[in-house]
A and B are shown apart, each in its own frame.
Chain A
Amino acid sequence: MASRAEQKAKARAERIAYEQKLAEEARRKQRLARLAGVVIAAAAVIVAAIVISSSNSTTAAVKVGTKASNTTVKRVSALLAGIPESGDNILGKSSAPIQITEFGDLECSACDYFALPTTLNTSAGVAGSGLENQLISTYVKTGQASLEYRSFETASGGAQNPAIWTPQQAGALAAGLQGKAWYYIELFYNEQLAEDSNYNQAYLDNIAKQIPGLNYSKWLSDINNPNLAAQVTSDGNAATSAGYRNTPTIVIKGPKGQAPAISGVPSSWSQIQTAIKQVGG
């Protein structure tokens, strides 16, 4: 039989074990409570971040006649002033020794970055590259190069209204039938909404209405011309069969042949100049 001292020791050990178990339990509960608190706090932060992120979308369309529209039209007019247009999408002298083709999607933000001057921010608030403006004023305005715009869908198809793709691009060609394709293109990029926005016919109409001197009702009937829609499709097919993957893709041709296509936004002005020199410009 166990001695009194042994019994005491045993009781003490049991008590300690029990207390330890209770402490363990309390500790476990405390850990879980803290964990739950942190998870709830983290969830609140994430939900708030996602709500803010999702709501900062779609910049409003620039309405015709507003101050913002007038400023943009003035800027685009200054850029394009005195430059002839030919075909339904070519800016510059048709006899220019260098022919530059841009494959673009009017909703694509990289094209926007390429098209905008450095003084303007894209819809995401990043300053434009200024490259296309420099290209137009250095080579196209001086008659050394022509600049053709062809359609290649890379962004519009995934946006909220993919069906707008064809009329949206045909809109440029319809304006081109009146020698104003590049007004439409430049205005579109200058006022481009965030990618994935809900572009619709009313949006296109608003772009056309801002073009100085455009016969709007003629444009409105031309935009549904099946030949222009076919041209949009064949532009895309040409880009695909040439193996192009990005917009913008810049193709430069000259007396000495064709430079390797520049896929995506050119990394610098000198990349464009090098390509032009390479083909004899």
Chain B
Amino acid sequence: MNQVVLRRAMIVLSAIGLGVATYLTYVHYSGIKPACTAGESCIKVQTSEWSRLDGVPVALLGLIGYVGILASLLVPDREESRLATLGLTLIGFSFSAYLTYRELFSIHAICEWCASSAVILTVLFVAAAFRYLAPAAASGAAATNGRVAESAAPEPAAKKRASATLGADGQ
């Protein structure tokens, strides 16, 4: 997939995730019932002991996480920023996998808002891993991508040569 399209898709997904997390944080602090098609499931999940991490609502943690992911996608596209996206989505994906496990096996209820966030984080994580690792796989071959390889080049001489040899940005 085209890297630019991938990045834009990830930005859109993160924005949706941010919306979900914002809503759940609002629900948590305002004490209202989340809109839910599955009866009391969302209440069950939102009022369970796992809805907080040392007193901090996990919805708020999700909100902060999405802001971080979004920020890492909006800064100039460099290897470091891709790595930051990967790290953040890895944390988000793993923790939401754990929470989904708790929903299924401890709370016995699925909150669709939480599940949608878990799906978004899974997709974001896979996309971030692809985005970071794809150039690495390509660099082993004769050709490599331009922008990322350039920024990752360890010293100016190599950087110059890389651009000279490879020409314009391959993306």
A contacts, CB < 8 Å to B:
16, 19-20, 23-24, 26-28, 30-32, 34-35, 38-39, 41-43, 45-46, 49-50, 52-53, 56-58, 108-110, 112-113, 118, 122-127, 154-155, 158, 194-196, 245-248, 263-265, 267
| CB-nearest residue of chain A to B149 | A27
Instruction: Among B31, B91, B106, point to the contact of A195 (Cβ < 8 A).
Output: B106
Q: Do A27 and B154 touch (CB < 8 A)?
A: yes
Q: Is the CB of B153 within 8 A of A27?
A: yes
Contact in complex: A245, B39 (CB < 8 Å): yes
**B83 x A35 contact (CB < 8 A):** yes
* B36-69 interface bits toward A, Cβ cutoff 8 Å, 1 = contact, 0 = none: 0001100110111111111100000000000000
| B28 in contact (CB, < 8 A) | yes
- On whether A28 and B139 interact (CB within 8 A), knowing A52-B53, A109-B48, A263-B39, the answer reads yes
Q: Is the CB of B49 within 8 A of A57?
A: yes
Encode contact with A along B74-106: 1 for CB under 8 Å, 0 otherwise. Answer: 000001000100110011001100100010011
Q: Does B107 have its Cβ within 8 Å of any Cβ on chain A? A: yes
Q: Is the CB of A39 within 8 A of B107?
A: no
For residue B33, CB closer than 8 A to chain A, the reply is yes
CA distance A112 to B48 in the complex (A): 11
Pick from B31, B39, B105, B139: contact of A246, CB under 8 Å: B39
User: Would you call the interface of chain B mostly helix, strand, loop, or mixed?
Assistant: helix
Query: Is there an interface contact between A31 and B152, defined as CB atoms closer than 8 Å?
Result: yes
Q: Are B154 and A30 in contact (CB under 8 A)?
A: yes
Q: A20-B161, A38-B83, A267-B33 given. 4 additional CB < 8 A pairs?
A: A46-B91, A46-B95, A109-B43, A109-B44
A41 touches B154 (CB 8 A): no
Cα-based distance from A265 to B32 in the complex (angstroms):
12
Considering the chains assembled together, what is the distance between the CA atoms of A124 and B27 in angstroms?
A: 14
Complex CA–CA separation, A39 to B95 (angstroms): 14
Give chain B interface residues in 119-160, CB to chain A under 8 Å.
132, 136, 139-140, 144, 149, 152-155, 158
* Cβ of B165 under 8 Å from chain A: yes
Verify A127–B31 contact, CB threshold 8 A. Answer: yes
CB–CB B132/A35 < 8 A:
yes
Given A35-B132, A158-B108, is A194 in contact with B49 using a C-beta cutoff of 8 Å? yes
Contact of B47 among A19, A28, A113, A196 (CB under 8 A): A113
Query: A31 contacts which of B51, B79, B106 (Cβ < 8 Å)?
Result: B79
In contact, A265 and B158 (Cβ under 8 angstroms): no
Contact among A26, A41, A113 for B87, CB-based, below 8 A: A41
20 contacts between A and B (CB under 8 A): A23-B158, A23-B162, A24-B144, A27-B158, A34-B83, A35-B86, A38-B83, A39-B87, A46-B98, A50-B98, A56-B52, A57-B49, A58-B49, A109-B44, A109-B47, A124-B47, A126-B31, A194-B48, A196-B106, A267-B33
A123/B153 contact (C-beta < 8 A), A31-B136, A53-B98, A56-B54 known: no
